[in-house]
A and B are shown apart, each in its own frame.
Chain A
Amino acid sequence: MNVLTAPVATQAGRGRRSADLLRARELGIVLVLAVVFGLTTIKNPGFASRASVRQLLSGASLVALLGVGQTLVVVTRNVDLSVGSVLGLSAYLVGKLFVSHPHVPIVAAFAAGIGVGLVVGAINGLITTATRVPSLVVTLAMLYIVRGVDARIVHGKQIDPTSIPRSYQSVGFRTVFGVVPWLTIIVMAVVLVVGYCMRTFRSGRDLYAIGSNPEAAALAGVPSGRRVFWAFVVSGGLAGLAGALFLSQFATVSAVAGVGYELNVIAAVVVGGVAIFGGSGTVYGAALGALLLNTINQALVAAKVSAFWNQAVAGALLLLAISFDRWLSLRLQRIESKRGERRVLR
């Protein structure tokens, strides 16, 4: 049976409709975001205060950054579960760098963090592309290996704010107009750059091709192995960057930094419209998904619902999102085949 659905009359209009439906996902998230924000503010006006909005943005930033890398990987029909551990390792190592070399330039510190992530990403990418082992298993194993390495290095200690230069920490808490954290701006810049690249460069489109139809991609001469490898490298690098930012944001790093982040990231990415089957979705959607999830969490707190509901809500939302996507695609298929002329009978 064909991957694409059966008969539909050729009309430009109908084509537009399907394309719109896809773009509507991002708009839909913005809409839900607005609704949640609005409702919560009505119940608790403090929700719209500067401090609260700042919290909304900064809380979502790191997950959104991880989401960018995850999008690259998921679009190719893979997954990267090691990002949380990489974040933790990178945060700690950068911290250690400051402890031993207090005058290292900030840029170098960031570079070090990213470098850590690049190495792990390269390992993930190499194993996934060279062997037939699913990325799920590879990155699950790396999740624990990296976490273990991190624990070994940390050895029960932790980094505390006194070791981190003020200038570095300022990246984590400075804001623009008291509302938009620098953190968010950095992340937004990354989102915009990566989003642009994914849309305007051949290598970016290759990623979508690989996830949409691997056989057709091979036939079209897309270098799948190389592309997937670099997708993992970038995902790792961004996780490393997130670790460096984590350090600047919290200035306290123990062995549990980043634990559990990967699940939040996947939830954010899926809610944001990146299909778990690959082939579609944007980093903008992923970032919005992260913002939405964080907003819902904060909204629950603001509405005096206990914070303990956070994880349950995230899990339920993830399930709802993938079920909805599936329902939507099935429905589209049914609509298309009901309209249009019959396949064989004339």
Chain B
Amino acid sequence: MSSAEPGLSVDDSIAAHAELPLWRSFVRWETALLVALVAALLFGSQTKQFMTATNFFYIGINIGEIAIMALPLTLIVISGEIDLSVASMLGLSSTLLGYLFRSGWPIGLAMVAVLVVGALGGALNGLLVTKVGLPSIAVTIGTLTLFRGLAEVILGAKSVTGFPASLVKIGVVPLPHTRIAYSIGIFCVLAIVVGVVLQATATGRSIYAIGLQSEAAHFAGIRVKRIKFRLYVVSGITCAFAGILWTFRFATSRYDAGTGLELNVVAIVLFGGVSIFGGRGTIVGVALAAAVMACLQQALTLRNVDGQVRNIVTGVLLLVSVVVPNIATALSRLKARAARRRRPVTVSFAP
């Protein structure tokens, strides 16, 4: 509601409301994640084989690609958008890699081509969101379907195997001199890079500002559209890269690679404390969330819990991670609604 004097609003003139500095809220969430991690480890250790190096190798390898994809998605969500096409891009890149390889391309060149396609896919997302101005939820549901569909077209129901042994070993052996899976190692490096970018560069600062109030960011000279576009391209490349890792890990290329993984990626990001509304979140939180999820999944696997059922856990964690911050507001809103129903809003008559 505007009026002739729009500047004089209630909040404007009322002095300080309850102060809750950003850092305090994120530390609390992080602490909760640490506690959750400890709980997950305790839960897991009830099975005999859990606390072994081999087991942790498997924990790592199972979460590797998902965690890698969660990194650019974190940036996108902080900037106020979403990208649901991540797992489909993984699938598309996996099939493309297999297809090119089978067609005789040298594996190195094929990998480069796949990354380029990843960039193009991300650019498509970015263009539709920034240039055409479509809501990212709708766009990425569309590209989710499109990319998966293209993957299906490329390979059909077939699968490709026979990749070079030196590359396929990442699915079996850890990094030399360690017990850490290759994908985890890569994740750690990337996480540090992304974390530094987010916390210590102008771009990172800009991303937070865009997510909180993109209009104010624009007024401060931040190139909102350009940054969002680039984030989508980076996401596309990263997911394509994850697809490459996936292919080598399983030593197979199939069109349905990674179907349904987008849930896990989104869950890790949101569970990691990144607000779905944008403007808040850290890489540390996301990394911790990935660790918690991975341990939990492995603990359940060791107890022979069905894969589909593990999804219940992921779904519940996702729900909890977004509902809990809102519980306070939710309860007060329900209370207000009940109060309003009791007290009719009518004109009252004073003497």
Contact = CB atoms under 8 A, between A and B. Distances in A.
Nearest to B135: A276
B213 interface: no
Nearest to B306: A151
B309 interface: yes
A151 B156 CA distance: 27
A144 B311 contact: yes
Contact of A137 (B143, B322, B330): B322
Interface in A137-177: 137-138, 140-145, 147-152, 155-156
Given A137-B270, A148-B312, A311 B322 contact: no
B145 A267 contact: yes
B134 A323 contact: yes
Interface stretch (B39-47, B109-117, B146-154, B283-291): B146-154
Interface string B317-330: 01100110011011
A127 B309 contact: no
Contacts of A309: 149, 152-153
A131 B142 CA distance: 27
B150 A312 contact: yes
Secondary structure at the B interface, as helix, strand, loop or mixed, is helix
A121 to B, nearest CB: 16
Contact of B316 (A136, A145, A155, A263): A145
B263 interface: yes
A134 interface: yes
A315 B145 contact: yes
Contacts of A150: 308
A64 B156 CA distance: 27
Given A142-B315, A312-B146, A133 B308 contact: no
Interface footprint category on B? 35 or more
B316 A322 contact: no
Given A133-B323, A137-B270, A138-B319, A319 B312 contact: no
Given A79-B137, A144-B311, A151-B306, A322 B270 contact: no
B84 to A, nearest CB: 9
Contacts of A11: none
A319 B318 contact: no
B128 interface: yes
A137 B138 CA distance: 14
Nearest to B263: A144
B141 interface: yes
A102 interface: no
Contact of A308 (B145, B152, B330): B152
A314 B146 CA distance: 7
A270 B138 contact: yes
Contact of B128 (A127, A137, A138, A323): A323
B142 A318 contact: yes
Contacts, number: 148
Given A132-B326, A311-B148, A319-B146, A255 B319 contact: no
A19 interface: no
A277 B263 contact: no
Contact of B138 (A130, A138, A255, A276): A276
Given A133-B276, A151-B311, A152-B308, A140 B152 contact: no
Contact of B153 (A143, A312, A326): A312
A141 B137 CA distance: 15
B312 A152 contact: yes
Given A263-B145, A312-B150, A148 B333 contact: no
Given A140-B318, A145-B319, A306-B156, A319 B308 contact: no
Contact of A127 (B311, B316, B319): B319
Contacts of A189: none
Contact of B149 (A130, A132, A143, A311): A311
B226 interface: no
A80 to B, nearest CB: 13
B333 A130 contact: yes
A131 B329 contact: yes
Interface in B80-139: 82, 128, 132-135, 137-139
A312 B263 contact: no
A315 B312 contact: no
A34 interface: no
A28 interface: no
> Most chain-B Cβ atoms within 10 A of its Cβ — which of A137, A147, A149, A267?
A137
Nearest to B307: A151
B34 interface: no
A257 to B, nearest CB: 12
B314 interface: yes
A133 B153 contact: no
Contact of B308 (A134, A147, A225): A147
B337 interface: yes
Contact of A130 (B133, B157, B316, B330): B330
B321 to A, nearest CB: 9
A315 B144 contact: yes
A271 to B, nearest CB: 11
B141 A148 contact: no
Nearest to B313: A148
B306 A155 contact: yes
Nearest to B88: A315
B4 interface: no
B308 A315 contact: no
Given A132-B326, A263-B145, A267-B145, 11 more contacts: A131-B322, A133-B323, A144-B312, A147-B308, A148-B308, A151-B308, A276-B137, A276-B138, A309-B152, A315-B143, A315-B145
Closest A-B pairs by Cβ, 9 of them: A312-B149, A315-B146, A151-B308, A315-B145, A148-B312, A311-B149, A145-B315, A144-B315, A131-B326
20 contacts: A131-B327, A131-B329, A132-B326, A132-B329, A137-B270, A140-B266, A140-B318, A144-B263, A144-B315, A151-B308, A263-B141, A263-B144, A266-B141, A308-B152, A311-B148, A312-B149, A316-B146, A318-B145, A319-B128, A323-B132
